[in-house]
Amino acid sequence: MNGIKLFVGLGNPGNEYEDTRHNAGFWWIDRVAAITNSKLANESKLFGYAGKLRNEAWLLKPTTFMNASGRSVAALAKFYKIEPESILVIHDELDIPPGTAKLKKGGGHGGHNGLKDIAAQLGTNEFWRLRLGIGHPGDRNEVINFVLHAPSKNEMQLIEFSIDDSAPLLDSLLKGEFEAAMLKLHTKK
């Protein structure tokens, strides 16, 4: 079974978005880069910050805005011949409470414009997703405002907990041990 060759954290570029809920995927990539001593550099031809992870895989933070994330993912995947089923997209998830992370393969985009663009650019939605719960504002009309604002201190601690919980799955994900990774992640201690 093939493991993950490309880890993509979703977010929006720029200081004004750095602390917003929509950047949870960037936070995950930053944590993994720190843990593994991986260096990311701005790669203009890949439309993102990219770096090697232990010579086994790539880390990527697109520098496009969220709704154009697929441009960066497709550029790196095409250049390095990485199949969609070997891609893991880490993103914020409204339908999961803060503090919870879920791993799954495929599925719809659930209104997430980053996922929608990645599926369109890759020509399939059969890539892996690590969904970091950010909670829901309770009103559909408040979603855009919600994701583009910083979480409360308590919510941020919970989101960081879900990142701490999911980052150690790296080795399982690299080896393609998805069942084991899901079991660890989805089973509450």
Indicate which residue of 22, 112, 136, 149 is catalytic. Answer: 22
What angle separates helix 153-166 from helix 24-36, to the nearest 10 degrees?
A: 50
Asked if 78 and 87 count as a contact pair (C-beta separation under 8 A), the reply is no
| Catalytic annotation present for 109 | no
Asked if 36 and 169 count as a contact pair (C-beta separation under 8 A), the reply is no
Pairing outcome for strands 48-53 and 57-62:
antiparallel
Chain centroid offset of residue 125 CA: 14
As beta bridge partners, residue 87 has 6
Q: Which residues are designated catalytic?
A: 22
